[in-house]
Amino acid sequence: MKVAVVGATGLVGTVMLKVLEERNFPLTELIPVASEKSVGKEITFKGKKFPIVSMDTAISMKPDIALFSAGGNTSLEHAPRFKEAGTTVIDNSSAWRMDPAIKLIVPEVNAHELSIDNKIIANPNCSTIQMVVVLKPLHDKYKIKRVVVSTYQSVTGTGVKAVEQLMNERKGVDGPKAYPYEIDLNVLPHIDVFTENGYTKEEMKMVKETNKIMSDETIRVTATTVRIPVMGGHSESVNIEFENDFDLAEVRSILEKSPGIIVVDDVANLKYPMPKDAHEKDEVFVGRIRRDESAPKALNLWIVADNLRKGAATNAVQIAEYLLEKELV
């Protein structure tokens, strides 16, 4: 089992390597891929050194699986080349997500849609992943009509430059800016670029990706995505309106029994999910579970997950694990 990690030196690529190691993914050969300036350098995986290779070299080595986290343009150009070499590509960029011919996969929700013919598989947006893991079991039971979500997203979702901006601002140091404004002691209601309808691309991703992953275009979704000066993970306030009424105890029971979810909901003892708790964890954490008293058949939830792990690297590795388990590679 030969596995290439494309973008191995980036923020998500580094976490992909860590997750592969932690989960003891059964690879026999690791092929780290990065930009030309990194070729020849080495990365350490399970105590061994592996040289970083170029894209062309990696393709010639015909890996079984390639985990991509190197940006949309790189994916559009090179994922088809890996596919032609017989490699199954799991891509973390937005390049393929809304392509009707490409599966958009969250294993707990729709891995069953995969077949041996799916040679390019899209990993969804981080904020969508953690939300649909929670929505799916509730939709199966009560049928969701509408979702209103506001996100509180970590600077790690932007990348290394954003983390450096936050840390520099905390120290009073001038440096490169990832954002148009200060992020420390501030909140930016602006993630990705604005579109003609006044929503950002990040907000529209959550709308369109949710419908595609859940295989239900009737679910109406509206989103406001916000960048906040935290590390560790993304948080979401989610309001769900159902077709059918629900019992709160049953909702908790359903979530507690659902794969990939940890319920932390004990307000009497001030227990609720926070980004610090989700940091370096693979699960999605849910709390503040309560009825929306302003609307019938509506529920409020607070959802937190590590955006670099379940929101990116872990979800991609879980897809690869499923492919192996079902002998689809």
So what's the pLDDT on residue 201? Answer: 97
Q: How far apart are CA 163 and CA 229, in angstroms?
A: 9
Interval 173-195 mean pLDDT: 97
The answer to whether 192 and 202 have CB atoms below 8 angstroms apart is: yes
- In 3D space, the residue among 149, 169, 166, 147 whose CA is nearest the CA of residue 157 turns out to be 166
So what's the pLDDT on residue 73? Answer: 94
- Return the active site residues: 126, 234
The two three-digit tokens of residue 67, written as one number: 């985990």
The answer to whether 133 and 161 have CB atoms below 8 angstroms apart is: no
So what's the pLDDT on residue 166? Answer: 98
DSSP 263-291: E--BGGGTB---HHHHTT--SEEEEEEEE
**% of the chain with per-residue pLDDT over 90:** 98
23 is in an annotated binding site: no
The answer to whether 59 and 33 have CB atoms below 8 angstroms apart is: no
So what's the pLDDT on residue 305? Answer: 98
271 is in an annotated binding site: no
Confidence of residue 285 (pLDDT cuts 50, 70, 90): very high
The answer to whether 128 and 234 have CB atoms below 8 angstroms apart is: no
153 is in an annotated binding site: yes
So what's the pLDDT on residue 38? Answer: 92
pLDDT by residue (tens digit) across 28-39? 999 999 998 999
Q: Which residue has the tokens 């937005």?
A: 94
Q: Which residue has the tokens 């090179």?
A: 78
The two three-digit tokens of residue 170, written as one number: 């905390």
Q: What does pLDDT average to over the chain?
A: 97
The torsion angles phi and psi of 30, rounded to 5 degrees, stand at -105, 135
What are the structural domains of the chain?
2-124+312-325 (3.40.50.720), 127-307 (3.30.360.10)
Q: State how far the alpha carbon of 66 is from the alpha carbons of 6, 58, 87, 134, 180, in Å.
A: 7, 9, 7, 28, 34
Q: How far apart are CA 146 and CA 214, in angstroms?
A: 13
So what's the pLDDT on residue 78? Answer: 97
So what's the pLDDT on residue 15? Answer: 96
Residues 6+ apart with CB under 8 A from 190: 180, 200, 226, 227
Interval 245-265 mean pLDDT: 98
Q: State how far the alpha carbon of 103 is from the alpha carbons of 6, 29, 127, 250, 280, in Å.
A: 20, 26, 18, 31, 27
So what's the pLDDT on residue 275? Answer: 97
- In 3D space, the residue among 236, 200, 203 whose CA is nearest the CA of residue 222 turns out to be 203
The two three-digit tokens of residue 154, written as one number: 């970590």
So what's the pLDDT on residue 94? Answer: 94
pLDDT by residue (tens digit) across 25-81? 999 999 999 998 999 999 999 999 999 999 999 999 999 999 999 989 999 999 999
Q: In what order do the strands lie in the sheet with 65-68?
A: 29-33, 2-6, 65-68, 88-91, 120-122, 103-104
pLDDT by residue (tens digit) across 93-117? 999 999 999 999 999 999 999 999 9
Q: What is the CA radius of gyration of the chain?
A: 20
37 is in an annotated binding site: yes
110 is in an annotated binding site: no
- Helical H segments across 172-290, by residue range: 201-214, 248-257, 275-278
Residues 6+ apart with CB under 8 A from 225: 127, 150, 151, 153, 189, 191, 192, 200, 202, 203, 206
Please tell me whether residue 151 adopts helix, strand or coil conformation: strand
pLDDT by residue (tens digit) across 118-170? 999 999 999 999 999 999 999 999 999 999 999 999 999 999 999 999 999 99
